[in-house]
Structure 1
Amino acid sequence: MDNSKRTVVVTGFEPFGEHTINASWVAVQELKKLGLGKDIDLHVYEVPVEYQAVQSLVPSLWNQYHPQLVVHVGVSGMATTVTLEKCGRNHGYKGLDNSRFCPHSQCCIEGGPDCIDSVIDMESVCKRVTASGLGVAVSVSKDAGRYLCDFTYYTSLYLSRGRSAFVHVPPIGKPYNEVDLGRALQAIVQEMLDLLDQAEGKIHCQHVH
C-alpha cells in the first residue's frame, strides 16, 4: 500500500420519500468519476436511509479505512444551493426511516453532547469555493434537519472527533445537473483537505518550537 496516499470516504444516500432518485448518491458517483487527484484514495458508499444501518456502517468506514476525512452528502428538497453543514445534533430524531423505525431515545449517542461542530471551518470552505468561480452557489447551515442526514453526521463527528463534513445538495435539475453537483463536491472536498493540511501544519510547527 502506498503510504503517501491519503484516504477520503464520501457517502450518499439511497432513495427515500419523494426522492426516488437521490441527488446525493448521483452527485457522489459523479465525484468518483472525477476523482480527487492521484494522491487521494477515494472510496464512495451508498448509505441506507435507516438509523440502525447508519449505526453499524459509519463506525465500520472509520475502522476499515482510517480516513483523513469522511464527507457525507445528502439531498434536501428545500435547498437551492450546495449547503455545508457546520454541526450535527444529538436529539430530536422522530422521523421514521425507510424501514418505518426511529430510535426510542430519539437521539444518536446516549450521553453524547447536544451538538458537535466539524473541525473544518465551513465559512472558509464556502468563501474559497465561491471565489473559485465554479458557477455553483454554496452556502453554510447550522441545521442538518434532524433526519438521517443529521443522524449520520452527528454519529460520524462523534466517532472522528470532528473530522467529518456534511454537504446537502438540491434535487437534480433544481437548479443543478449531476455534473455541476459532482464538480461542486470535488471543489469542496479539495478545499476541506487543504484546510485540514494547514491546521495540521500549524500543530506540527507548535511541536517543533
Structure 2
Amino acid sequence: DCSSSASWCSSGFGPFRQFLVNPSWRLAQRLKLVGLGRRIDVHVKELPVTYVKTQQIIADIWQTFNPKFAVHLGISRGSSVVILEQTATNCGYRDRDVCGFCPETQCCVEGGPEKLCSVINMRAVSKKFREAGMDVLCSRDAGRWAGGPVVSSQTHKYVTQPDHAFCLCFFFRFLCDFAYYCSLYHGQGRAALIHIPTSGSLASIDRLVPLLQSLIQTMLNQLGDPSGAARTETSDSSAAAPR
C-alpha cells in the first residue's frame, strides 16, 4: 500500500509577552488541518527555548527520523514579507535563553564551520514566487532578523514520507539561527529556515498556509532536481549580463 494516514503528536503553547496566542502554533494547527501532501506522517513536538534542548532535539530528529529535508519556520516580528534564509552562523550567541544560559563558547558546534548553507537555492525559490507577485525574499544572514533576546516556547513538527520526508519546526527568532545551524550540521545542508511575517497581508494565516505549502513543495522539487536550480541561476545571470 503506497498510502498512509497522517500520524500526529501535538502539544500547545502558553502565552508569551504580547502573543496571547502563539502565531507559530496557530500556523502549525492550520497546516495540520489542511495537510502537507499525500502519504505524510506528521508529529508535532514542543521545544523549550533553551540552547541545550534545541541541540538535543534537533540532533535526535535527524538521528531518529533521518528526514530527507527539514523546514524551520521562525517568527519575524514587524516584518511584512516572507524571508528565505540561505545560511546559518555557528558563533555569536550571547543572548540568554529562558534558563538564563548561553553557550560557553557562544557557538552551536565547537570547531564547526563558521557558516553553513542550505542545499536549496533560496534565491531561485524566492525569484519564482516574486515573479508570481508574492512578497518572498532571500537572505544570506539569518541572524540579522534576530532583533534581541526574544524567548518563547518552540514547536517542532517533523514529517516522514517514503520519498520526501521532511521536518517542520516552529519557533521565535532568537534561537532561529542557532537551530538552523544545528539542523544544517546534522542534516548535511538538507534544511531551510523561513521567517514568516507578523504584519501586513501575508501575516494572515489564510494566506500563509497555502504559500508555505507551495514553498515547501518547490523546495522538495528542487531537492529532487538540483539541475533546475542551476538552470534558474544561469538564466538569472544571462538576464543580468549586458548585451
Q: Would you identify which runs of 4 or more consecutive aligned residues in structure 1 move more than 4 Å? A: 13-20
Q: Which residue of 2 aligns with 1:53?
A: 53
CA RMSD, Structure 1 to Structure 2 (Å): 2.8
In the TM superposition, residue 190 of structure 1 has moved relative to its aligned partner by 0.4
CA distance in 1: counterparts of 2:226 and 2:204, whole angstroms: 33
TM-aligned CA distance change 1:188 to 1:161, over 3 Å: same
Opposite residue 159 of structure 1, the aligned amino acid is: H
- Whether 1:143 and 2:141 are equivalent positions in the alignment is yes
Counterpart for residue 197 of structure 1: 224
Q: Counterpart of 1:159? A: 186
CA shift, 1:169, in A, is 0.7
Q: Distance in 1 between matches of 2:64 and 2:129?
A: 30
Asked whether the 8 Å contact 1:31–1:182 carries over to 2, the reply is yes
**Residue 187 of structure 1, aligned match among 198, 208, 214:** 214
Write out per-residue CA displacement over residues 174-196 of structure 1, whole angstroms, 9 at most, x where no aligned residue. 43211212222111100000000
Distance 1:16 1:32 in 2: 22
Instruction: Report the identity percentage.
Output: 41
What is the CA deviation profile of residues 136-163 of structure 1, one whole-angstrom value per residue up to 9, with x for unaligned ones? 4111112212630000000000111100
Name the stretch that deviates more: 68-77 or 24-33: 24-33
Deviation at 1:100, TM superposition (A): 2.0
Structure 1: which 5+ runs fail to align?
Answer: 8-12, 202-209
Partner of 2:63: 63
Paired AA for residue 192 in structure 1: M
Structure (1 or 2) with the larger CA radius of gyration: 2
In the TM superposition, 1:1-209 aligns within 5 A as: 18-132=18-132, 136-145=134-143, 147-171=174-198, 173-175=199-201, 176-199=203-226
- C-alpha displacement of 1:43: 3.8
Q: 2:169 is matched with which residue?
A: none
Q: Distance in 1 between matches of 2:128 and 2:36?
A: 17
Give the aligned residue type for 1:195: Q
> Is the Cα contact below 8 Å between 1:29 and 1:44 reproduced in 2?
no
Q: Is the 8 Å Cα contact of residues 80 and 170 (structure 1) preserved in structure 2? A: yes
Residues 1:22 and 1:87: Cα distance change in structure 2 (over 3 Å):
farther
Q: TM-score, normalised by structure 2?
A: 0.70
Using the size of structure 1 for normalisation, the TM-score is 0.80
Could you list the per-position Cα deviations for residues 45-86 of structure 1 after superposition, in whole angstroms to 9, with x for gaps in the alignment? 443221111011001111222211111111011421011000
Alpha-carbon shift at residue 16 of structure 1 (Å) = 5.2
Aligned residues: 192
Contact map agreement 1:34 1:186 (CA 8 A) in 2: no
Per the alignment, residue 10 of structure 1 pairs with: none
Cα distance, 1:88–1:16 mapped onto 2, change above 3 Å: farther
Task: Give the drift of 1:111.
Answer: 0.2
